[in-house]
Amino acid sequence: MMSILLMKMDLGHLLVILTLLCTGLQGAAASEWGYWGKNGPESWPGICTTGKKQSPIDIVTKDAIELNSIPLNFSQYNLAFPATLDNNGHSVGIKLHGAPIHLRGAYVPSGFVLEQMHFHWGAEHTVDGLRDPLELHLVHYNTQYANLSEAAQHGDAIFVISVLFKLSRYDNPHLKPIVEATKKVSCKVGRSTAIKGELIPSLFLPKNYKSHYYYIGSLTTPGCQENVGWFVLTEKLTVSQSQVNVFKRVRGDNGRLLYNYRPTQKLNDREVYKMTWHGLRAD
């Protein structure tokens, strides 16, 4: 009888521990920054608060300077790659494995490779004040540096492609393997899982990527390093509300990530360009 009571007690303790792990209530694991509360964006340190070229921004379409530009070149983006997805406590990130995937064209010199992809729900960049439900960031860095962290310490060493998603009644089929992988890591910060099948990066770009907004900004998470080149594609992909809801169930160190976007920052004296390829090489 006593052994049965001990077994029940142990099981009860185990359930409490598992609940704490999945609800992010462990005080020791509390994040140093987040998206609300005392660790929210208003309290992010250093250049996050003092910088003058911070991201994201609200893109005011009537104020964008229109230019004819060489289109972006997504080398190797049409190939299939094995991929892993992880819950880092602030988003879900995707790492592709295999041959380097290069970004070229427009203002991008050679030697920039895709480091990782991650999502923000709702979108971080707004267009004429409208916030879409989802935004994908494809982060590229200059390979003359050892890694992304080192590249972040240098000007013009990082370029980010931003893809906005508008709401649809229907699931986006290309997001399905990512959504399923997200379910597996949603309550475990630091958990990684293989994405079923292989990912083709070009499926996460709109068919028309020859038109985009370009500006100089920053990383949108601490330490908010500046001199990041942002390409916000004008054409959007689609996502269903049920798919967005899966992202909203991801748990970070301080509870469920109902949203993980940084508020838009002041443009200050920066210019925003609308770059469009019209078939003639730009001067």
Q: The tokens 């920053």 sit on which residue?
A: 218
Average pLDDT, the chain: 87
Contact 269, 198 (CB under 8 A): no
* 265 falls within a domain: yes
Q: Is 125 a catalytic residue?
A: no
* 17 falls within a domain: yes
* 210 falls within a domain: yes
Per-residue model confidence (pLDDT) at position 146 = 81
Residues pairing with 258 in the sheet: none
* 22 falls within a domain: yes
Whether residue 14 has pLDDT greater than 60 = no
Confidence band of 163 (pLDDT split at 50, 70, 90): very high
Provide CB contacts within 8 A for 187, sequence distance 6+.
Answer: 21, 22, 23, 251
* 71 falls within a domain: yes
- pLDDT tens digits, residue range 23-57? 333 333 346 899 999 999 999 999 999 999 999 99
Nearest in space to 256 (alpha carbons), one of 20, 15, 19, 23: 23
* 103 falls within a domain: yes
Q: Which residue has the higher pLDDT, 216 or 7?
A: 216
Q: Which residue has the higher pLDDT, 230 or 281?
A: 230
Radius of gyration of the chain (CA): 20
Same domain, 10 and 89: no
For the chain, how many structural domains are there in total?
A: 2
Q: Are strands 83-87 and 102-105 parallel, antiparallel or unpaired?
A: unpaired
Same domain, 13 and 100: no
Q: Which residue has the higher pLDDT, 16 or 205?
A: 205
Q: What is the distance between the alpha carbons of residues 230 and 62, in angstroms, rounded to a whole number?
A: 18
Catalytic residue among 13, 90, 102, 212: 90
Per-residue model confidence (pLDDT) at position 282 = 36
Same domain, 5 and 96: no
Q: What is the distance between the alpha carbons of residues 44 and 199, in angstroms, rounded to a whole number?
A: 34
Same domain, 106 and 235: yes
Stated pTM of the model: 0.87
- pLDDT tens digits, residue range 74-124? 999 999 999 999 999 999 999 999 988 989 876 677 778 999 999 999 999
Whether residue 4 has pLDDT greater than 60 = no
SS (H, E, C) the chain: CHHHHHHHHHHHHHHHHHHHHHHCCCHHHCCCCCCCHHHCHHHCCCHHHHCCCCCCCEECHHHCEEEECCCCEEECCCCCECEEEEECCCCEEEEECCCCCEEEECCEEEEEEEEEEEEECCCCCEECCECCCEEEEEEEEECCCCCHHHHCCCCCCEEEEEEEEEEECCCCHHHHHHHHHHHHHCCCCCCEEECCCCECHHHHCCCCCCEEEEEEEECCCCCCCEEEEEEEECCCEEEEHHHHHHHHCCEECCEECCCCCCCCCCCCCCCCEEEECCCCCCC
Mean pLDDT of 205-212: 90
Same domain, 136 and 9: no
Same domain, 224 and 117: yes
Return the structure tokens found at 278.
């019209």
Same domain, 92 and 6: no
What amino acid occupies position 82?
P
Same domain, 7 and 54: no
What amino acid occupies position 140?
H
Same domain, 108 and 235: yes
Q: What is the distance between the alpha carbons of residues 221 and 149, in angstroms, rounded to a whole number?
A: 13
Same domain, 147 and 167: yes
* 281 falls within a domain: no
* 121 falls within a domain: yes
Domain carrying residue 23: 1-30
Same domain, 24 and 42: no
List C-alpha distances in Å: 237 to 36, 132, 202, 204.
28, 11, 12, 8
Return the structure tokens found at 231.
């390409």
Mean pLDDT of 215-236: 96
Same domain, 84 and 218: yes
For the domain that residue 119 is a member of, what is the CATH number?
3.10.200.10
